[in-house]
Amino acid sequence: MLISVDAGRSYVKVVFQTKPGIFKTFLFPSWITKYYETDWDVLTGENDYVIEHEGEANYIGEVVEFVADGDSGRRMDEDKGSKNTLLFILAALYRAGVNQYEPVDLVTGVPLGRFNSDMEKVKEMLEGSHKVTMYTKHGKEMRTININRCAVTVEGAGAFFDQATEEETHVIDLGSRTVNCLTFRRKKFLAPASLTLPWGWDTLKEENRNYERVAETLHGELSAKWHTDARIIVVGGQAEQLTPAIREYFPYASTVDAPQFANARGYYKIGKVMFGY
């Protein structure tokens, strides 16, 4: 079974195939906080989880809004090799139906600027057998999740390989914590024209959190590397609103259907090639 998980710092996005040609997608908030017993049941929605792993229990998903103190459940750390990433992905695989009888091949991503430092760490953390106890609105279930193989690619690369072309293409992947700006030429990564910016939509000050200001800032960062007539794909949860502002500087910028899932769809296609599906 092949599954792709884009474990962003705003939402976890998942893509997998239920039967030939039939794909399923879902997402849940990347929120986590330590478990404590509440006086009234708070696990009432499909995106409400408690995950118990290696003796520690945490709330994950939408329920965190109702049990965490303020914004303490939001995770803005850059390191994708952290325990939080592992828990988000295990919760995603559980919801996708992964169990001990069907090992899974997994594809996920890390920011370009952290690929060299995080890639092996993430792969080592995820591959192998993981025992979890999940609590949902449906009750309690113990499950063993076996990750047979894990491929780690660069965030933003998934969006390109979702609709790969020989034509030189740039990707702007505006995330919660970072912006990945990648360039591909003849389907190969072009390093001098690519970079990761150390800010994202959720890290911006309120006065800067508007699409025109973000587009202006991106143009300032990219104009020396990308031509005005460049082919640009804008993806991420803010892509539909950001793209018109980007077109003020790069007229041929466009987005894709369901741009929030663009990386996860591309990860899945990368996995098909790498793992021979």
pLDDT at residue 69, as a whole number = 83
Say if residue 141 is in the same domain as residue 237. Answer: no
Burial class (CB in 10 A: 0-12, 13-18, 19+), 247: middle
The CATH number for 23's domain is 3.30.420.40
Q: How far apart are CA 34 and CA 48, in angstroms?
A: 14
What is the mean pLDDT of the segment spanning 217-221?
Answer: 97
Asked if pLDDT for residue 87 goes beyond 80, the answer is yes
Q: Which two tokens stand for residue 176?
A: 């919660």
Say if residue 88 is in the same domain as residue 205. Answer: no
Say if residue 68 is in the same domain as residue 181. Answer: no
Q: How far apart are CA 126 and CA 109, in angstroms?
A: 12
Say if residue 267 is in the same domain as residue 132. Answer: yes
Output the average pLDDT for the chain: 95
pLDDT at residue 79, as a whole number = 61
Say if residue 10 is in the same domain as residue 127. Answer: yes
Say if residue 86 is in the same domain as residue 149. Answer: yes
Q: pLDDT band at 78, cuts 50/70/90?
A: low
pLDDT tens digits, residue range 163-183? 999 999 999 999 999 999 999
Asked if pLDDT for residue 12 goes beyond 70, the answer is yes
What is the mean pLDDT of the segment spanning 89-101?
Answer: 96
